[in-house]
Amino acid sequence: MYKNQTLAIVVPCYNEESQIVKVLSTLPEYVDRVYIIDDKSLDKTVEVTQNWISTSATPEKYLLIEHEINSGVGAAIASGYKQAAAEEVDVAVVMAGDAQMAPEDLPDILAPVVDEGYDYSKGNRLFTGDAWNMIPRVRYIGNSILSLLTKIASGYWHIADSQSGYTAINKKALKTIQWDEMYKRYGQPNDLLVKLNIYNFKVKDVPVAPVYNVGEQSGVKPIRMIPRLALLLLRLFVYRMKEKYIIRDFHPLLFFYLFGFILFIPGAILGLDLVITRMLGYAVADTSALFAAFLSIMGVQFLLFAMWFDMESNKNLK
């Protein structure tokens, strides 16, 4: 146990035969349960894991869950969370099977949930001053863009590094979230933040060290995934507005967002059309330019006020 709290580690895996032993062998002794979820690996991850468990001094601590089909990292995490909830675990931590989550940071990840009354904590690799030099450039830029969009979609304006999977969650949140409805692939952390916000769970960022080039293999291309995840975040944003500010409670920020989009989008389209027209050498009426500027400026003002109202509404969740 960790400070009188039962602790489970959720280890999602896909083709991690070279890394999984490194993860399992470095887990602290105070961990009560370890759920290794294999997402239909094509290599020997299952065999390597089974061999390691069989030779462990405490094999009863480990549970290997095998997916029949490859469903995505989000689905693997959901399987571990459901098992943790079923076993009434107090705190569940995600530490991926690629060994990119340092065990040395585990007490810091646990502290907000165990000691400070938070429902969910997550690692933030962008806090470190040397993150730009430690994280591959493409991943850093992609992560930063997605983090900005996730702030707007989730309502957790104080949270960054939205794609970090190093997280801790308490029993109340484990039993509240519908894990079968969670996004099943790379956008799972973004989806979960939106769901946590709807239920007014408190979330805290924890600085952690970026870990790269330890033998991990990643097929994730953050820049390429931005368009798809941006559409996901747009859907999640609309879902949060409906669930939190219409169904559960009403807030006038809805009108500010609505009028902001109504004014800004036509204004931006009209402005772009006028710019192209002028570049082609055609005359542009002064009134048309003023109208486009008016729509755009008013739209931006409404959107900024909506964001400010959203920040004020959620400030008690940090």
State both tokens at 54.
């069989």
| The pLDDT value given to residue 126 | 80
Whether 107 contacts 201, CB under 8 Å: no
| The pLDDT value given to residue 219 | 54
CB-count exposure of residue 54 (10 Å: 0-12, 13-18, 19+)? exposed
State both tokens at 113.
């949930």
| The pLDDT value given to residue 222 | 61
| The pLDDT value given to residue 136 | 67
3-state SS assignment for residue 13: strand
| The pLDDT value given to residue 133 | 63
What are the pLDDT digits (tens) for 217-245?
A: 555 566 677 888 999 999 999 999 999 99
What are the pLDDT digits (tens) for 73-84?
A: 999 999 999 999
Instruction: Identify the segments of the chain with pLDDT beneath 70.
Output: 128-136, 211-223
254 sits in the region (left: phi over 0; alpha: psi -120 to 50; else beta) called alpha
| The pLDDT value given to residue 138 | 75
Mention every residue, 6+ apart, whose C-beta is less than 8 A from residue 128: 134, 207, 209, 210
State both tokens at 184.
């099943």
| The pLDDT value given to residue 52 | 94
| The pLDDT value given to residue 164 | 87
Whether 49 contacts 24, CB under 8 Å: yes
